[in-house]
Amino acid sequence: MQPGLAATKQAARVVTVGGGKGGVGKTFLVANLAVALARSGHRVVAVDADLEGANLHTCLGARAPLASLADFVAQREDDLEKLLVDSPVPNLRLIAGTHANLGAAQPSQLRRVRLIRSLRQLDADVVIVDLGAGVHPAVLDYFLIGDECLVVLAPEPTSVENAYAFLRAAFYRRLRLAMVGHGVRRLVTQAMDQRNERGIRTPLDLLREVESIDPVEGRRFVDTMREFRPRVVINLVRSADDIKLGFAVCSVCRKYFGVDADYLGYVNHDDEARKSVTARQPLVDYQSNADAAVYLERIARKLAGALPAAPGAGALR
Amino acid sequence: MKALDEQDHYEILEIARAATAEEIERAYRMTSAAYADDSLALYSVFEADDAGVMRERIDLAFRVLSEGDRRREYDEQLAQRGGAAAHSTARHFSAESLAVEDGDLRTPSPPIPAMELPPSIEGFEDLETDGDDDYDGPSLRRARLNRGIEIDQISTVTKISSTHLRFLEEDCYDELPAPVYVRGFVSAYARSIGLDPQRVVAGYMAHLEVVRGGQRRSRPLGRA
């Protein structure tokens, strides 16, 4: 089972927010969850890892800082703590993603490992990471380090397709990293190609192949699947059918991937949300009684329930 | 991880071995919707053939588990096989039902059966009205959506136009008719989604009174 947020006392708990498709509200969700958690007394760091489309600072109402994660990626700065800037919200600091070199926005493998390690060492209770769209290995690696891995999707076909593609890619990458034997890793790599020559169509097909090669790796495969528990958030909900989409997606994940996805919650479509972005203020501050703000607080409360009690932490509104 | 043909009927419907008849029926509705031909969640993952097999498995599971004798017989077979396959909890599809029943304002109809949410969502139910009786339009809407009920279903049950129901939910006070009608609307709305009509009416009307300030005149019914 995936370790809960309260499992370790020392390291910051990491919440990663991905989803594959742009425009589904990942940054909006990160900004509002970060504020809601900070307002409840948790020391929060929000990290904009979407270097090719950084705008988390805007959603938080902060100015574009001169130093950002891009400096870490470009090896101009080695200490993440030095990239932290205060936000307008007490208890909430930001590592922005501004001023990236768009020709080299993704870090090298070595740099990525260092970044992942450094995120956990930040002086915070919670580090919440906003990921970019797509399935670049760097995006997947950031996603997979989360103690809580949130997948955001909107109730529309393109978003659902991309969310599955994202989950599929994350799932196979996690498997590939978990497998020890070279032959099995190569097999997983082959399976990532949906038209692979071995005819591996589903994770179950892959499991059968792995078990036939190495039973020990087969057991590791199953354990890895059990530990991977993405949490689904449906954004821009307009109807009860949209809400039920979350249940259906989780069911498909269980039946197809063998992954026990969990439905974390949903956020209503709300004009106030758009207005809050225009006002460059998180919705939970801009209009705390707005429909969508209530749902965001609910999700934050669910996340906070898994957090260790922070000194001075109070209940979410 | 098991292939579809290795999963027992309980696993197919994602319910506990001890699921009640009502839970089985609701799980059947939910899984049927999830794996329907037009399901948004399905088409980009499952091949058409696999989806068809899945639907057949869902139908078979429901037929067996919804008949007392067949279910007992099936349970015995599972027990003989070791029976370890059943899920220990029913958190995935514990319940769902959206049946609509006829009724109108004069003869109060029973509430529309609500979709039971899994623990991850149910944990938030206490926030539905922020713990008090301060009902306004958005809180009614949230309560409705939390129960998986569409506005048209309420309209069918209560015979109130969906336009007026939306005005209620969106706090469009200027578009609402006189208070006596609003009171009836709110009462029927609350009843249809399983809320206590008296508490909801009291909360909503108090809210309405504050907003209107007793000054604005409402439009007569029918001029929305």
CATH of the domain at A289: 3.40.50.300
CB spacing of B138 vs A294 below 8 angstroms: yes
Give A197-250 as a DSSP string.
TT---SHHHHHHHHHHH-HHHHHHHHHHHHH---EEEEEEE-SHHHHHHHHHHH
The answer to whether residue B85 sits within a structural domain is: no
Residue B94 lies in a domain: no
Rounded Cα distance between A203 and A161, Å, is: 17
With 60 as the cut, is the pLDDT of residue B214 above it?
no
Question: Is pLDDT of A181 > 90?
Answer: no
Hey, what amino acid is at A228? F
Pull the structure tokens for residue A81. Answer: 């703590």
Domain of residue A74, residue span: 13-155+232-251+260-304
Per the CB < 8 Å rule, is A302 touching B115?
A: no
A160 CB within 8 Å of a chain B CB: yes
Q: Is residue B157 part of a domain?
A: yes
Structural domain contains residue A118: yes
Give me the pLDDT at residue A314, please. Answer: 60
Q: Is residue A127 part of a domain?
A: yes
In this structure, the answer to whether residues B145 and B60 fall within a common structural domain is no
Q: How many domains does chain A divide into?
A: 1
Q: Assess if residue A284 is contained within a domain.
A: yes
Quick: pLDDT tens for B152-208.
Answer: 888 888 888 888 898 888 888 888 888 888 888 999 998 888 888 888 988 888 888
Residue A96 belongs to a domain:
yes
**Whether residue B59 is found in the same domain as residue B9:** yes
Residue B212: its pLDDT value, please?
73
- Cα dist. A133→A21, A45, A136, A162 in Å? 5, 21, 8, 9
**Residue B202 to residue B20: CA distance in whole angstroms:** 36
Q: Examine the pLDDT at B118 and tell me if it is beyond 80.
A: no
Q: Is residue A171 part of a domain?
A: no
Beta carbons of B33 and B106 less than 8 angstroms apart? no
Q: Given CB atoms, is B118 within the 8 Å cutoff of chain A?
A: yes
Q: Tell whether B151 is covered by a domain.
A: yes
Residues of chain B in contact with residue A290, where contact means CB-CB under 8 angstroms, are 138
Both B128 and B74 in one domain: the answer is: no
How close A233 comes to chain B (CA, Å)? 11
Contact B145 A264 (CB under 8 A): no
Q: How confident is the model at residue A310, as a pLDDT? A: 59
Is B32 contained in some domain? Answer: yes
Of B80, B108, B138, the last residue of a domain is: B80
Domain boundary, last residue among B53, B80, B107: B80
B144: containing domain: 119-212
Given an 8 Å threshold on Cβ–Cβ distance, is B148 in contact with A244?
yes
How large is the ipTM?
0.78
Residue A17 domain flag: yes
What CATH number should be reported for the domain holding residue B68? 1.10.287.110
**Assigned token pair, B154:** 């309420």
Residue A57, pLDDT score = 94
Pairwise CA distance, residues A21 & A135, whole Å: 9
Domain assignment of residue B13, yes or no: yes
Q: Is residue A160 part of a domain?
A: no
The reported pTM is: 0.76
Contact residues on chain A for B152, CB-CB shorter than 8 A? none
Note whether residue A1 is domain-resident.
no
* Amino acid (one-letter) located at A106: Q
Q: How close B69 comes to chain A (CA, Å)?
A: 28
Give me the mean pLDDT over the A82-101 stretch: 91
